[in-house]
Chains A and B, each alone.
Chain A
Amino acid sequence: MSQHVTDWLAAYHDGELHGARLFQVETHLLECPTCQSELEALKALSTALQKNPVMPARTPPARFVAQVRLRTRPPSPPTLLWRVWLFVPLSVLGIGAFLQAALMVSSLVLIALRLFGDGDALAPQFGLFPAFPILGAAQLFVLDGVLTVGLATLLWGWLAGWWAARSRQNRLAGETSG
């Protein structure tokens, strides 16, 4: 007699076995009283469970549906605040890119002035960045660092808020594992 198929009997009983495994279990069952008896026990359990009555009707179906519908409202479109909230990371990245570009241009102009001209004399002609000639490279470096850390903080803060909102929605949708 082949080895017992106890581990597969429940799946066999549930109609979940196919192919070679199904053949193996069926063949074994023909010759093994122990597994036959185990299968009968599984069937008896299913029968006992089926005798367990269904839920007694309390609310008529139509009223149940009406009660649910009364509590439903059309899903509201995303609010203005939510739309603005979604644009936060894009805005932060845009502002960051702009400031980085401005700092880069400032640095280049500063270097050009130091190398090729009189910074004090040329400074007033650069209306866009009137302060840059008095900024040294170290100051620019510090400013760049502050800018990067500030933007990174904003982005991480946004991500944390987004994650919290998403987790709450998942809980509401019952998608957390049981």
Chain B
Amino acid sequence: MPVSAASTNSNELDWIARAQQGDGQAFGELVEKHRPGVLNVVYRMCGDPQLAEEAAQEAFLRAWQNLRRYNPKFAFRNWVYRIALNLAIDRLRRRTETVAIDTLREILTVETDGPEATLERHEQAEQVRQAVLDLPPTSRAALILREYEGLTYQEIADALDIPIGTVMSRLNYARGQLRESLRRSWEAT
């Protein structure tokens, strides 16, 4: 059952209606609004900023090409997430090496602690990031939408086109795996 588009405000509905008539500027507004969310979702799925940007652009292009088929009963954000996640999963399947470890250096640019604390924080962040990336793509997608984007179970179900029960089981599985994986990592260090 689709949820009402809680995050789809009247401005957005207007942009969508205009974009469906071929108004590129209105679509630009939609892209601007949802760019951060889509980028983060794809980035957390694949762990590679370059790939994430490409996939996010591709996701918006496909959204544009298929706008006529968008169902306003669903939140636009979730629809674009769905396209982006499918694209990310598709690209990950085609790619053997998914993580560019050296991007960690680019992640935290402002350092206020001493070098040891900074290094430790980096290591922990990298362990978490790696543990998330090691999850199966379907569970990872559910976890990212819940933990980072704050979607409800119903919204995740809509975005991934799965029943709510499956959302719960994927989240439980993902969290269980993460806890186990992080426990091992932290015990080893």
Binding site for B on A (CB under 8 A): 10-11, 14, 16, 41-42, 45-46, 48-56, 58-59, 61, 64-65, 67-69, 71-72, 74-75, 169, 172-178
Shortest Cβ distance from B81 into A: residue: A174
Q: Is the CB of B89 within 8 A of A178?
A: yes
8 Å CB interface, B63-103 against A: 64-69, 82-87, 89, 103
Q: Is the CB of A176 within 8 A of B107?
A: no
Q: How far is the CA of A74 from the CA of B20 in the complex (A)?
A: 9
A177 to chain B, nearest CB (A): 5
The secondary structure that dominates the B interface is helix
Chain B CB within 10 Å, residue with most, of A51, A71, A75: A75
> Beyond A53-B107, A75-B68, A176-B86, is A42–B61 a contact (Cβ under 8 Å)?
no
Q: Number of contact residues on B: which range applies? A: 35 or more
Q: Is the CB of A71 within 8 A of B57?
A: yes
Residues from chain B with a CB closer than 8 A to the CB of A46 are 147
Q: Is the CB of B59 within 8 A of A14?
A: no
Q: How far is the CA of A42 from the CA of B143 in the complex (A)?
A: 13
Shortest Cβ distance from A52 into B: residue: B128
Interface code B8-26, partner A: CB below 8 Å = 1, 0 otherwise?
0000000000000010100
Q: Is the CB of A49 within 8 A of B148?
A: yes
Q: Is the CB of B52 within 8 A of A72?
A: no
Q: How far is the CA of A72 from the CA of B168 in the complex (A)?
A: 37
Specify which of B53, B138, B152 is in contact with A178 (CB 8 Å cutoff). Answer: B138
Shortest Cβ distance from B61 into A: residue: A71
Specify which of B64, B68, B121 is in contact with A72 (CB 8 Å cutoff). Answer: B64
Q: Is the CB of A50 within 8 A of B87?
A: no
Residues from chain A with a CB closer than 8 A to the CB of B138 are 178
Q: Is the CB of A68 within 8 A of B62?
A: no
